[in-house]
Amino acid sequence: MHPFTYTRVSDTREALNAGRRGGRYLAGGTTLVDLMRETVERPEALVDISGLPLGEVTVTERGGLRIGALVTMSEAAAHPKVRTLYPVISEALELSASAQLRNMATIGGNIMQRTRCTYFRDVTAACNKRQPGSGCAAREGVNRTHAILGTSDACVATHPSDVAVAFAALEASVHLLGPDGERRIAFADFLLRPGSTPQREQALRHGELITAVEIPALPRPLKSGYLKVRDRQSYEFALTSAAVALHVRGGLIREARVAAGGVGTVPWKLPAVERHLVGERPSGALWTAAAARAAEGAHPLQHNRFKVELLKRTVERQLRVVGGTR
């Protein structure tokens, strides 16, 4: 492991000062420490923020939810408000990682986690994300698990988070605190597509700290849920996944929020599917027709063509589960 300094901070001002000097924030450490062991990440200074007061889940004035950045995945998944208002978040968290990891990993860390592309984690392989300008071994290599949406010539890696897919579907926002004060950014703008700079993954400014993720209030009743399709039933990343939330009133779908995971370089919102649903009466035929639009714009690679059909079927199945009509 590369040598580094370690500082534990107890208030946000101290954290921001250390962040401004170039320190990397450390919370649960479940991704960063792994990557440091593999020498993929070589921070000079770690700033342990696990003692900051960012571990609360609260209901906002408008009836949405604010999940503190240091709430662990287990705490968020089990929280009564999360379970009742947005089951899609609980389900996405419970289908992630392992129980041990969920007890350590935080919500802020989860959305910051880095790709599972095997070439990224192999320091002998060409990888533009790890070493800009070195190439992308996955493009011509084994790319079965890689992205089919949002890719670029520089990088085709998927974003690994499940709960980020739920956040994208629900149109969450991310609260940030930095040297210039507080700001809030739409979740859709927080995670960046690779373009020509795949090493830049989030729209964070120098020294900024995530303080919370906020889920907006949505019309009630709202049914929601998360489906994850993977090679094995435990401790595995998604080949495809679907986060769905529907508000049905008077027999018609009034609001639809749909996003997919395992297929995009970022959690992939599906506006064409949502538009197809809104104003319609739930039916099996509607789910099939809407899900047929899920893979629009896909560019599969040599080994992941199967994801195009699998994505449509995943979305269709979860629409049936949440929408309740077979």
Near ligand SF4 by CB under 6 A: residue from 82, 137, 258, 319: 137
Phi, psi of 10 (to 5 degrees): -120, -5
Near ligand SF4 by CB under 6 A: residue from 25, 86, 119, 226: 119
Binding of ligand SF4 at residue 115 (CB under 6 A)?
yes
Q: Per-residue DSSP letters for 97-132? A: S-HHHHHH-BHHHHHHPPP--TTTT-TTS-BTTTST
For residue 178, list its beta bridge partners.
181
Instruction: Name the token pair of 266.
Output: 């970022």
Instruction: Name the token pair of 25.
Output: 């924030």
Q: What is the closest distance, in whole angstroms, from the C-beta atom of residue 141 to ligand SF4 in the complex? A: 8
Binding of ligand SF4 at residue 120 (CB under 6 A)?
yes
Residues 322 and 212: their CA atoms lie apart, in Å, by: 27
Residues 18 and 14: their CA atoms lie apart, in Å, by: 6
Cβ neighbours of 154 (radius 10 Å): 18
Stretch that binds ligand SF4, among 12-20, 130-138, 235-243, 255-263 (CB under 6 A): 130-138
Binding of ligand SF4 at residue 136 (CB under 6 A)?
yes
Binding of ligand SF4 at residue 128 (CB under 6 A)?
yes
Most distant pair of Cα atoms in the chain: their distance: 62
Q: What is the closest distance, in whole angstroms, from the C-beta atom of residue 324 to ligand SF4 in the complex? A: 38
Binding of ligand SF4 at residue 315 (CB under 6 A)?
no
Near ligand SF4 by CB under 6 A: residue from 127, 170, 244, 319: 127
Phi, psi of 259 (to 5 degrees): -145, 160
Binding of ligand SF4 at residue 155 (CB under 6 A)?
yes
Q: What is the closest distance, in whole angstroms, from the C-beta atom of residue 258 to ligand SF4 in the complex? A: 25
Residues 207 and 214: their CA atoms lie apart, in Å, by: 21
Binding of ligand SF4 at residue 77 (CB under 6 A)?
no
Near ligand SF4 by CB under 6 A: residue from 157, 170, 239, 245: 157
Binding site for ligand SF4 (CB under 6 A): 115, 117, 119-120, 127-129, 136-138, 155-157, 198
